[in-house]
A and B are shown apart, each in its own frame.
Chain A
Amino acid sequence: MRTDTEHTIFLKDYAPSPYRIVAVDLDFDVSDKVTITRAQLTIEPGDDTPRVRRWCLTETG
C-alpha cells in the first residue's frame, strides 16, 4: 500500500485522457535474476468519441 500520495484526487476533476492506448504488445523475458519487460503501446490522440460523450452526459456528479 502506497501511503505517500501527496495530492488529493477529486471526482469532479475527472477528464478523459488526452491520449488513449488502443493496443498493447507486451514481451516478458523471465529469468531468475531479472525480468525484462518490453512494451509496445499503440497510442493515439483522444477525441470526443461517442463513448466519452455518453460518459459526460450521464455524469452528473
Chain B
Amino acid sequence: MLDGDGLSLSSIAIDGAPLIQSAFANDANSLTIIEPPQRRFVLETEVHLTPETNTKLMGLYRSNGVWCTQCEPEGFRRITYYLDRPDCLAVFKVTITADEKVAPVLLSNGNLVNQGDAGDGRHFAVWEDPHPKPAYLFAMVAGDLGSITDSFTTASGRKVDLAIYCEHGKESQCDWAMDSLKRSMAWDEKRFGREYDLDIFNIVAVSDFNFGAMENKGLNIFNDRLVFAQPESATDANYAGIERVIAHEYFHNWTGNRITCRDWFQLCLKEGLTVYRDQEFSSDERSRPVQRIHNVQGLRSAQFPEDSGPLAHAPRPDHYKEINNFYTTTVYEKGAEIVRMLATLLGEAGFRKGMDLYFERHDGEATTIEAFLQVFADSSGMDLDQFKTWYLQAGTPQVSVRDSYDAKSQTYSLELDQLTASTPGQLEKSALTIPIRFGLIGPNGSPLGWTSVSGAEVRDDLIVLSEDSAMLRFEGVANRPVPSLFREFSAPVQVHADRSQEDMLFLARHDSDPFNRWEALQEVSSTLLIDAVGGKPWSAPALDGLRSAMLETLESRELDNAFKALALDIPDTSVLGQKIGKDIDPANISATRKAFIAALFAPAVETLETAYDGLSSSKPYAPDAEQAGRRALRNQLLKLVVTASKDDQLAVKQYDDASNMTDRFAALAIVGTQWTNDASAMLADFHTHYAIHDPLVLDKWLTVSARADDDDVIGRMEAILADPAFPKSNPNRLRSLVGSFVLANPVQFTRVDGAGFRFVTRFVADVDGRNPQVAARVLTGFRIWPILEPKRREAARAALTSLAAIGQPQSQYCRHSGTDACGLAERTDECQRLEDFFFGAK
C-alpha cells in the first residue's frame, strides 16, 4: 500500500500494462495493489495537482509565482502515491517541463543531466540524484528567479558549482548566505572530514515558507528571511542567524541525508546531531562563550518549560499520533545537548573517532539512535547503556548541591543529588549520566588543587554523576574553595545550590569559565528581583555589590564585547516568571524589573554613557564578530541608559544617525517596546522610510509594534491586520506580528482583562483555515497558563472557550498546541487536567 494525501489518480499501470479496476484500490490517501508481483516491477501512476490552491505549503505549492515543494515529514504523499517513510531509500530521476517564460529556472535534487526545448514555448530539465534518499528529501522548483553563482573546491580538489536563486532584484542580498555556505563547507571538511558529494549545490529563497529552511539533497529551500541580508535592512542578529541556518542545512548533507532516520521516532538523530554541529560552527566562527550563552538561553526559555509541562516527551519518543507535533525544542535543542554531553564525556578526539566510525559504518543507511550510540561505545570502549536514558526519558533533571569545608583536615566535601520529576505517561525516572565540568577557586581567584578525590568518577575537570546521589571528598584542599560547577553548562539540568551573593559575585569576577561568570551575574539579579516581586525589597548594599561587579565586567580587558553585552543584561520578565514558577503577574514583574534597572544603573549613567560613546565607530559596516560584538555592547548600554534615566533622547539620536539597520533597529526596539514619548513618531518614520519598501524590514516594524508595553497595542495590531494591504497569507508577516506579541509581550498578552488572550484567539479563528501551522505556533503561547495567577488563568480559559464555541468540535487549543496528548497514545492525566481546566470536566 502506498501513501497519498488528497490525491486524485488519473491512470495506473504495471510494467506498461494498465490495471483493471479490480486490481487496485485507491482513495485520496492511499493506493493499494491487490496482488502485487513477487518480482521487480515498474508501477506507473499519474495524478493531477493544483499547487495554486495549496495554502498548507506542504507538498507542491506556489509561492509568489514560483512552484516549490516541502516534503518533510509527509509532504511527498501530496505529490504522488509513494512509500512515504524515511527508510525507503531510492535514486531519483526528475524531469520538469514548463513554460519557458513563466518558469525559466527548473531545479531538482542532484546533478543536471539534460535540458532543452520541449516545443510550444516550453522547455525541460532532467535531474538525477545518484544518492539513494527518502522521499522527504525530494525537492523541485520551477519559476522565474534571479541567481548568484560561485564555486567551492573540496579538500580532494573537486569543483562544486554553487548557486543561490531568489526573486529578481534581490541577488545582491544573497552574498552573505553564499559566503556562509562556503565557510560551512570548509568547516565540515576540517572539523568532521566531510566533503560535499555532488557537482552542484543549489539554494532557493522563497517568501512563503512555514519553516526556516529544508535540507533537500543538493537543493535546499529557504525562507527568504534566512537568506537575504544587506546592512541597510538586516541586523547583526539576522546575519548570524543566516550563517547558522545555512550551515545547519548544509551539515544535514551528512547527518540526515547520507545517513538518515529509520523512522520518525529517530528525528532527534538527525536534528539533535545537526544542531550540535551548527552550534559548534557558530562557536568557531564567533565568540564561543557568547554562542553557548545564547544556546542555553534558548534551551531554558523554550525547552525547559516544555519538559516540565503537559507536553513533556522524550527526545526519542516511543509512540505518537501526529509526527508534526514532534518538531520540538526537546528533539532539536535537548537533542543537541545530549550530543554535547557525549562529546564532553568522550573528549574531542574520542568524539571525532566515534563520528568517523558513524560515517563509515552507516553511510547510505536509514538508522537509529541505538546505532548512533553503538559506534561511540565501540570506538571508545565506554559503556553507554545508562547514557542512552537521556534519549528515552522526558523531564529536566534537578541537581541539588551542598558543600562544606573542613580547614583542619583540608577536606572539601561536595554532595550532589539528582532527581527528575514524573512527566505525563512516565512516572518512574532513572538516574542519568550527568557530566559536570567544574573547578575549585581559591580566595585569591586562582584555581585550587587537591591531592585525592573519592565518591564519584572524576577526570581532570569533569565529575561524572551517575547515581541518584554522590558525596565527593576532595583531600588536600588548602583553603575553602568557591566551587564553579557545570562550567560551559555541561548538562541540561537545573541546579539548586544555596550560594551567597558574595560567592556569586566572587565567581562573576574570578571564574575562568565565562559562562559561569555570566550565570553568576544573572543569578544575583534574579534573586534580588524575585525577592522584590515577593515583597522583599532589595537593599542598597546588594545593589552596590552587583553594580560594582557589572562595571568591572564592562571595564575588563580580557572579555570580549559580545560577552559583556550579555553580562550586563538583566533577566527579562518571561525568564523571571519561569523562575518564580507559579501565580505570576507579568505586569508586576515587569514594573519591578524596570524599577530595579533604574535603581541599579541610575548612579552609573554617566559611566555607561562614556562607555557608549567610546564604542562608536566610523568604520564601514561589516557583519563580522568583532564589529557585531561592539555594536551589541553599545546597544546594551543604550538600553540601560534609556531605562535608568527614563529619557529616550540618546536612542532618538542613535536612530537618526544610524548608518546600519543593527543600530537603527536597536534604538527603535528600545523606544518602541518601552513605549516612550517618541515611540509613535519613530515607528511611523520607520514604516514610511524603511519598512514599506522591504518585506523583511516590515517584519521588524511589525515585531516592535507588537512588543510595545502600552495598553493600546492591541488596537493598533487589529488595525494592522484589518488593513487590506496587509499580506495575511504570508507566515513571516503573521509570525512577526502575532507571534511576537504572544512570545515577547507577556504583560499585554496576559492582561488581566483578557484582551490579549481574546485578540490571539480571534486571530487563530481567522487564520486556522488558511494556515493551521501558523495558528498552532501562535497558540503555543498559551502554555504559560499554568504559572499565571488565578485571574489571568481564568481570562485565558474564557478566551479559549470562546474559540471552541465558534465551531471547533474539540478543544482547539489542545488540538493545535499538541496538548491532545501531544500526539501521544493516551490522554494523560496532565493533558486531561489541562483540558478540564479550559473546558470543564466532562
Q: Please give the residue numbers on chain A whose beta carbons come within 8 Å of chain B beta carbons, in ascending order.
A: 1-3, 5, 7-12, 14, 16-17, 19-45, 51, 54-55, 58-61
Contact = CB atoms under 8 A, between A and B. Distances in A.
B40 A43 contact: yes
Contacts of B374: 58
A54 B92 CA distance: 25
A9 B73 CA distance: 15
A14 B263 contact: yes
Contact of B50 (A1, A9, A34, A42): A34
9 closest residue pairs by CB, A with B: A30-B98, A8-B825, A44-B40, A58-B371, A39-B80, A11-B318, A10-B319, A1-B324, A11-B265
Given A22-B91, A23-B91, A40 B43 contact: yes
B81 interface: yes
B319 A26 contact: no
Contact of A31 (B94, B99, B815): B99
B255 to A, nearest CB: 17
Given A42-B40, A58-B368, A34 B48 contact: yes
Interface string B313-324: 000111111101
Given A31-B99, A36-B48, A39-B44, A17 B87 contact: yes
A12 B50 CA distance: 38
Nearest to B91: A23
Contact of A30 (B83, B96, B316, B825): B96
B48 A23 contact: no
Interface in B42-67: 42-52, 56, 60, 67
Most-contacted residue by chain A among B50, B132, B262 (CB, 10 A): B262
B95 A8 contact: no
A25 B816 CA distance: 36
Most-contacted residue by chain B among A5, A21, A32 (CB, 10 A): A21
Given A8-B319, A38-B46, A22 B87 contact: no
Contacts of A33: 50, 52
Given A37-B80, A39-B44, A2 B322 contact: yes
A28 B83 contact: no
Nearest to B85: A17
A2 B324 contact: yes
Interface string B93-131: 111111100110000000000000000000000000000
A46 to B, nearest CB: 10
Given A21-B88, A26-B80, A28-B140, 16 more contacts: A3-B772, A3-B815, A7-B321, A8-B321, A11-B265, A17-B87, A28-B94, A28-B97, A30-B142, A31-B99, A37-B48, A39-B80, A39-B81, A41-B42, A59-B370, A59-B371
A31 B263 contact: no
Given A1-B322, A55-B262, A59-B368, A21 B83 contact: yes
Nearest to B60: A35
A45 B80 contact: no
A34 B48 CA distance: 6
A36 B46 contact: yes
B26 to A, nearest CB: 13
A8 B733 CA distance: 35
A54 B772 CA distance: 39
B96 to A, nearest CB: 5
A40 to B, nearest CB: 5
Interface in B189-220: none
Contacts of B88: 17, 20-21
A35 B316 CA distance: 38
B108 to A, nearest CB: 8
Given A17-B87, A55-B367, A39 B45 contact: yes
A22 to B, nearest CB: 6
B74 to A, nearest CB: 8
B82 A21 contact: yes
A34 to B, nearest CB: 5
Contacts of A9: 319-321
B776 interface: yes
Given A8-B825, A19-B83, A24-B91, A34 B321 contact: no
Given A9-B320, A55-B371, A28 B96 contact: yes
A33 B39 CA distance: 38
Interface string B13-46: 0000000000000000000000010111111111
A40 B85 contact: no
Contact of B46 (A8, A21, A37, A43): A37
Most-contacted residue by chain A among B52, B322, B776 (CB, 10 A): B322
Contacts of B49: 34-37
B43 A43 contact: yes
A22 B371 CA distance: 23
18 contacts: A1-B776, A2-B324, A8-B321, A9-B319, A9-B320, A10-B318, A19-B36, A21-B88, A24-B91, A24-B92, A27-B94, A28-B142, A30-B97, A30-B142, A35-B49, A36-B48, A39-B44, A55-B365
Nearest to A16: B87
A9 B374 CA distance: 25
A35 B98 CA distance: 9
B773 interface: yes
B523 to A, nearest CB: 38
Contacts of B43: 39-41, 43
Contacts of B318: 10-12, 61
B533 to A, nearest CB: 37
A58 B42 CA distance: 32
B90 interface: yes
B36 A43 contact: yes
Contacts of A24: 90-93
B528 interface: no
Contact of A35 (B48, B773, B816): B48
B79 interface: yes
A23 B79 contact: no
Contacts of A14: 262-263, 265
Interface string B288-332: 000000000000000000000000000011111110110000000
Interface string B756-780: 0000000000000000110010000
